[in-house]
Amino acid sequence: MRIDELPSIRHLPLFCNMATENFEALMRGAYSQSFPAGMQLVEQGAPADFLFIVVEGAVEMYAGWGKRESTMGVIRPVGCFILAACIKDAPYLMSARTLQPSKIVMLPAPDLRAVFRRDTEFAVSVINELAGAFRTVIRHAKGLKLRDARQRIAAYLLEQSRYADNANSFVLQVEKRLIASYLGMTPENLSRGLRQLETEGVRVKGMEVTVTDRDRLTEFAAPNVLLDGPDPEGSDGICLPPPTAIHPV
């Protein structure tokens, strides 16, 4: 474990409130590794041996069934993934692969389970992390069931705009085929949907998005904190570098 990565991990909401001694014990068992883009880190169904933390780069979470595959989210620094499986000592439900060259820290799951039993602050942080992750997935499922394809696209664009500080002009952070999969549609359909949304207040050229009529787009997508977030800031102790959760994609 390289010492220069410790501070950024220590500031993660998951770790920022625990006793220093326990944090250091956890990190003694940790591995840090750099991976090229396109490397599979986790295969769904495998035993949950490690908690993964994305220190640099980006990681796609995806799920497969037969020959079909679907993107479930993208994790960016500094975020962790696969926490629930580690805690339950159950098989991973999702696979993970790097989208870019990435620096990843891996924490052995048994260490993790041992520590939250004796560090209540850490347990509280895990609770907050899991509660947030749960709510994120509920929102995703709600979107899939309540909105049609074009509405999901519109809501996604508005959410991305929010991440970009509500700018009317921003750049998509991931490939469109990945966005399509995340939103539960084919790439062809996303492409057509984006074109059709030109009459609803947004124009997309390549990776560049321009909101031309925010009111109109907002009326069309009808975004909603119960569907698109964000959640209020955690009741958990807040740490300076804001966390990055699974949502942004």
Specify the stretch interacting with DNA by CB under 7 A; choose among 9-17, 75-83, 182-190, 238-246.
182-190
Distance, CA of 14 to chain centre: 15
- Judged by CB under 7 A, does residue 115 bind DNA? no
Work out how close the CB of 99 gets to DNA at its nearest, in angstroms, rounded to a whole number: 11
Work out how close the CB of 186 gets to DNA at its nearest, in angstroms, rounded to a whole number: 4
DSSP state of 233: P
Distances (CA, A) of 210 to 151, 163, 171, 201: 17, 14, 9, 9
* Per-residue mark of binding to a second copy, 50-89 (x: CB under 8 A): -------------xxxx-xxx-x----------xxx-xxx
- The residue ranges of DSSP E strands in the chain, in sequence order, are 31-35, 40-42, 50-56, 59-65, 68-75, 79-81, 95-98, 102-108, 169-171, 202-205, 208-211
- Judged by CB under 8 A, does residue 131 bind a second copy? yes
Report d(CA 194, CA 217) in Å as an integer.
12
- Judged by CB under 8 A, does residue 130 bind a second copy? yes
Which of DNA, a second copy, none is residue 194 near (CB under 5 to 8 Å by kind)? DNA
Work out how close the CB of 82 gets to DNA at its nearest, in angstroms, rounded to a whole number: 24
* Binding site residues, DNA, CB under 7 A: 148-150, 175-178, 184-192, 194-195, 204, 206
